[in-house]
Amino acid sequence: MAGAKPTEQSRHMDRARYTAFAFTAADILLELDAAAVIRFAAGPTVDLIGREPDHLVGTPLFDLIAAEDKDYSRRLLDAVTDSDRADMMLIRIGDRRGRKIRFVMSARRVPEFGDRLFLALSRAKPNAAGDLARAAERDPESGLLVRDAFVAIAGEKLRTGSALGNPCRMTLLGFDGIDRLRGHYGDDGVGTVLAELGAALRARSIDGDSVGHLGADVYGVIHARDLGLDGVRRWLETQSRPLARGEPVTVRSVSFELNPGGLSEADAIRALAYTIDQFSAADGTLRLGSLVESHQAMLDATLGRMSDFRSAVSAGSFQVVFQPIVDLNSLEVHHHEALARFADHEAAGSADAMITFAEEIGMIAEFDLAMCRRVAMAMAAHGGGVGAPMVAVNLSARSLMSFHFMARLRAYLADLPAPVRQALMFELTETYDLADLDAANAVLQQLRAAGHLICLDDFGVGATNLDYLRQLEVDFVKIDGAYVQSAREGGRGAAFMKGLARLCADLGLRTVAEMVEDQTTADLLRAAGIGYGQGFLFGRPELELPRP
C-alpha cells in the first residue's frame, strides 16, 4: 500500500523536507509572482527584519529592498531564466527600526512553477570591507562606490586578503566611445546600458558590492582571483554595437592581484590609488593588449619609483639648494627659498617631476619633513643658528592638512634652538588641493604663533584665487611667474600686477614676484609696488647658504 500513491501526509513531509534542505543554505525563503510580489515566505523573518512571514505575503519585494540596491537587484532578477540563475547578489533590507540588514540572495526559476521566482536569502557575514562599503559614498546615478571609497575597500582587501593568503584581484575597465553614443542616443539609452553593466559587475564582485565608478567611463571591480571578466567585456561590446551603428565601444582593461608585494601596506595602497588615477586619466588611444602589459609595467615602475624615492628621503640622498628673495628697493636679501635637487634624476636634477610624483602618491608629507630637517641642519651650521639667515621651506597643502604630519612637524620644530626656529619660514604650495580653507587657516595660525612667517606660494595659479587671500592669514604672497611674464609684456598684465600689489598692501601682506630674469622686469615690478623679487637676476639656486 505504502509508496503506491503519495498521501497528503507524505506530500507534506516532502515539502517540509525540501524546505529543511533549503534552510541549510539560507535564512529566509521567498517565492515571488510575476509582479515580484511575495507569495510565500519562511524563516526567522521576525528576528532578522522584524516582520512575520504572513505579513510579508502580498508585499512587493522591492518595497523591502534598500533604495541603493533596488535598481541593480531588479535588473539581475529580470535576467533570471529557466537555465540561468542569479547567485550571491548582495542586497540590503530595511528592518522596522530603519537599520539596513545585508543579505546574500540567490534566485532561480523552476519550470514546473511557471513564472514564479524562488529566492534564498542568507544574512551576510559582517567584515571590515563590508562595513566600509555600507558606509561608503556612492555615485548617486549608478549607486556604485566613488573613487575614494573604492580605494579604501581595495586597501582593506589588500590587507585582509594577503593576511589570509588569498588575495583578490582588481580589474579596471575603461569604456572608450561612450561619449559618442551619448551624442547619438541621449543619456537615457546609454544610462540603461551602464546600469546593466553596473549590476553585472556588482554580481561578480566580492561581497556583491565592490564596484567603483571611478571616472566618467571608468569602472573598477574587486573580485575573486579566478574570475574572468572577459564575459562582461564581450557583453558590453555586443550591447553597444547596434547603438553605435557598427562602431562598438572599445573596452580597455587591466587586472592585477591585490597583494602588497615587497612594500608596506600603506605604500602598496598608495601605489594602487596612483595606478587607478593613471588608468582613469589614460585615453582611448591605448589599446587592450598593450595596455594590460603597460599597466602592469606601470604598476611595477610605480613601485620602483616609490622605493627609490623612499630611500632617497630616508638616506637623505637628495640635495638642498637655496635661492635668494630680494627686497626690490634696497636689494638686500630678505630670505632664501630651499629647493630640492635629486642627484640621479634626468632634467638637470629638477625637483618638479619627483615632487609631483610624491604629491600624487601621497608621500609628500614625509618629504617636506625631511626637507625641514635638512634646512634646519644647514641653518644650525651657521654659528649654532645665532643670526642664521631666514629660509623658507616648501610645505605642500596636503602636508598641512595631514593631522599626523603636522603633529610630527610641530614636535620637531619645538625642539629646535630658538634662533633656528624663528628663522624658518614656510611657503604653502599646491594649494589647489585645499578643500577647507578655514581648517587650513587654523593650522597656519598655529605655525605663525610659534614664530614662523608664512608665504602663500603660486598665487594666481589654478584655483588659488582671491578667496585664499580672504581666508588665509599669511605674511607673504608669492605671485606666480606666469603673471610676472604677462606684466613684462605690458598692457593688462602690468595693470593687474599693480592692482594686486595695492590689494595685498591694504591687507597688510608683503608681495614676492618670482621668475625675475632681467632688470627691466625688476624695475617694472618695483614701480607696480611689489616688495620682493626672486629669480635668476638676483641669484640662481646655490648649494651653499651664504653666511650672514
Judged by CB under 6 A, the residue of 59, 160, 280, 350 near ligand C2E is: 350
Which residue, 76 or 351, has its beta carbon nearer to ligand C2E? 351
Which residue, 156 or 430, has its beta carbon nearer to ligand C2E? 430
Count of residues of this chain found to bind Ca ion when the rule CB under 5 A is applied: 4
Between β-strands 28-32 and 117-123, what pairing exists: parallel, antiparallel or unpaired?
antiparallel
The entry of ligand C2E, Ca ion, none that residue 371 binds, CB within 5 to 8 Å by partner kind: ligand C2E
Question: Nearest distance from residue 541's CB to ligand C2E, in Å?
Answer: 5
The residue type found at 519 is Q
Provide the residue count of the chain: 548
For 536-547, the DSSP string reads: TTT---BSSPPP
Spatial separation of the C-alpha atoms in residues 422 and 420, rounded to whole Å: 6
533 binds ligand C2E per the rule CB under 6 A: no
The entry of Ca ion, ligand C2E, none that residue 517 binds, CB within 5 to 8 Å by partner kind: ligand C2E
- What dihedral do alpha carbons 216, 217, 223, 225 form, nearest 10°? -130
- DSSP lists the bridge partners of residue 337 as 323, 392
Question: Nearest distance from residue 143's CB to Ca ion, in Å?
Answer: 42
C-alpha cell at 344: 640621479
Span near ligand C2E by CB under 6 A; candidates 8-16, 106-114, 327-335, 531-539: 531-539
Span near ligand C2E by CB under 6 A; candidates 251-259, 283-291, 364-372, 405-413: 364-372
What residues contact residue 513 under an 8 Å CB cut-off, 6+ apart? 478, 479, 483, 484, 497, 525, 530, 532, 533, 534
Question: Nearest distance from residue 375's CB to Ca ion, in Å?
Answer: 13
Which residue, 186 or 546, has its beta carbon nearer to ligand C2E? 546
Phi and psi angles of residue 319, each rounded to the nearest 5 degrees, phi first:
-105, 155
Span near ligand C2E by CB under 6 A; candidates 134-142, 161-169, 325-333, 348-356: 348-356
The entry of ligand C2E, Ca ion, none that residue 302 binds, CB within 5 to 8 Å by partner kind: none
352 binds ligand C2E per the rule CB under 6 A: yes
427 binds Ca ion per the rule CB under 5 A: yes
394 binds ligand C2E per the rule CB under 6 A: yes
Which residue, 176 or 368, has its beta carbon nearer to ligand C2E? 368
Q: SS3 of 226, please?
A: coil
Q: SS3 of 535, please?
A: coil
Site for ligand C2E in 280-339 (CB under 6 A): 323, 339
Judged by CB under 6 A, the residue of 18, 113, 432, 536 near ligand C2E is: 536
332-349: buried (b, 16+ CB within 10 Å) or exposed (e) per residue?
A: ebbbbbbbbbbeebeeeb
Which residue, 77 or 375, has its beta carbon nearer to Ca ion? 375
Question: Nearest distance from residue 451's CB to ligand C2E, in Å?
Answer: 21
Between β-strands 117-123 and 100-108, what pairing exists: parallel, antiparallel or unpaired?
antiparallel
Which residue, 201 or 391, has its beta carbon nearer to Ca ion? 391
Cβ 126 vs Cβ 86: under 8 Å: no
Could you identify the residue written with the cell 630640492?
340
Cβ 39 vs Cβ 56: under 8 Å: no
Question: Nearest distance from residue 535's CB to Ca ion, in Å?
Answer: 11
Judged by CB under 6 A, the residue of 249, 272, 351, 397 near ligand C2E is: 351
Span near ligand C2E by CB under 6 A; candidates 197-205, 248-256, 408-416, 533-541: 533-541
Judged by CB under 5 A, the residue of 176, 217, 267, 457 near Ca ion is: 457
Between β-strands 532-533 and 510-513, what pairing exists: parallel, antiparallel or unpaired?
parallel
Spatial separation of the C-alpha atoms in residues 468 and 434, rounded to whole Å: 10
Question: Nearest distance from residue 410's CB to ligand C2E, in Å?
Answer: 18
Binding letters toward ligand C2E, positions 223-262, x by CB under 6 A: ----------------------------------------
What residues contact residue 164 under an 8 Å CB cut-off, 6+ apart? none
161 binds ligand C2E per the rule CB under 6 A: no
Span near Ca ion by CB under 5 A; candidates 205-213, 246-254, 317-325, 393-401: 393-401
From the list 8, 9, 49, 7, the residue with the least C-alpha distance to 27 is 49
Question: What is the CB-side half-sphere exposure of residue 241 using CA atoms within 13 A?
Answer: 7
Question: Nearest distance from residue 435's CB to ligand C2E, in Å?
Answer: 19
Question: Nearest distance from residue 480's CB to Ca ion, in Å?
Answer: 5
What residues contact residue 34 under an 8 Å CB cut-off, 6+ apart? 115, 116
368 binds ligand C2E per the rule CB under 6 A: yes
Spatial separation of the C-alpha atoms in residues 88 and 78, rounded to whole Å: 15
457 binds ligand C2E per the rule CB under 6 A: yes
What residues contact residue 370 under an 8 Å CB cut-off, 6+ apart? 313, 314, 316, 318
Could you identify the residue written with the cell 534564498?
120
Site residues for Ca ion per CB under 5 A: 394, 427, 457-458
Site residues for ligand C2E per CB under 6 A: 323, 339-340, 350-352, 355, 364, 368, 371, 394, 396, 429, 457, 514-515, 517, 534-536, 541
